[in-house]
Amino acid sequence: MALVLVTVVIFGALGAGLTAQEMVEVSHPSHVHQGTCADLDPSPEYPLANVEPVSPDAEPGSVEVGVTSLDVSLDDLVAEPFAINLHESVENVENYIACGDITGAVVDGTLVIGLNEQNDSGYSGVAVLSAANSGGTDVTIYLGFGLSRDVAAATPVASSADPAGVAISILEYAFDAPTVEIPVGTTVTWTNDGGVIHTTTSTDGLWDSEILSSDDEFTYTFNEAGSFEYICSLHPSMVGEIVVTEA
């Protein structure tokens, strides 16, 4: 995967006890730990760069980034249970705010994993792990506030399709029905049934769900015939097609 496009939408909610300015200024330590997020070894195996705002002038709640080159191969990281864990701050390092298991399909030397919210922090995101020419692994973390379902609950979500509609499930890194044929006037509902944030985004600009956290839905009604391709904008290797025929 030569390019990973990461589009993150911030919903503007603030974390408990944090002012807007404090959210911008906080630096989040991160590490690779042995084990899984459900059963994590508290002692870090590999240190990662702190995850921080991209500039001192970043708006409150903006995406934060951390970039690290590890001297361990991606194959070794995937071969046994490892997880990426993020902490609230240097001062409160014992509080975990987001975590993701290093597992899944490696595509063209790249693995993308979800970083799920921990301890009601409101933070989640994605980590991109890429095999480096040196034999190590480049790790890029994108962290956002307000991506988790409980924080985003106040944001309107499209209602489910009617009984005559079609349902498509978004799995960890694939749409369960890559090609769907429907008649004109059919409503399609995409549901994120995995643990990683995704989108359903038309390649010709007809629709864009924006960020879908676990269990979130998005609907679109197809009122004209044609073939419509779409992707997940966070994971462009995820592709689908809706073929709409005259009723």
Residue 143, pLDDT above cutoff 80: yes
Give residue 127's identity as a one-letter amino acid code.
Answer: A
Rounded-to-integer distance, Cα 129 and Cα 139, Å: 5
Between CA 129 and CA 76 the distance in angstroms is 12
Which pLDDT belongs to residue 22? 46
Q: In this model, does residue 15 exceed pLDDT 50? A: no
Is the pLDDT at 153 greater than 70? The verdict is: no
pLDDT of residue 177: 82
DSSP string, 5-28: -----------TT--HHHHHH--E
In this structure, are residues 40 and 26 in contact, taking their beta carbons and an 8 Å threshold? no
Q: Residue 61: name the closest of 149, 153, 143 by CA.
A: 143
**Residue 17 scores a pLDDT above 70:** no
Is pLDDT above 90 for 150?
A: no
Res. 112: pLDDT tops 90? no
pLDDT at 10 over 60: no
For the domain with range 156-245, which CATH number is right: 2.60.40.420, 1.20.1050.40, 3.30.56.10, 3.40.50.1820?
2.60.40.420
Q: Does residue 151 register a pLDDT over 60?
A: no
Supply the pLDDT for residue 199. 92
Q: In this predicted model, which residue has the larger pLDDT, 213 or 236? A: 213
Comma-separated ranges of CATH 2.60.40.420 domains in the chain: 156-245
- The number of residues making up the chain comes to 247
Query: What would the mean pLDDT of 55-59 be, rounded to a whole number?
Result: 66
pLDDT digit string (tens) for 19-53? 433 444 578 999 999 999 999 999 999 999 999 88
Mean pLDDT computed over every residue of the chain: 80
Name which of 184, 15, 200, 189 is nearest 97 in CA terms.
15
Task: Give the pLDDT of residue 120.
Answer: 87
Flag whether pLDDT at 12 surpasses 50: no
The pLDDT of residue 9 = 30
Summarised one tens digit per residue, pLDDT across range 178-231 is: 889 999 999 999 999 888 889 999 988 899 998 999 899 999 999 999 999 999
Of the pLDDT bands very low, low, confident and very high (cuts 50, 70, 90), residue 61 is low
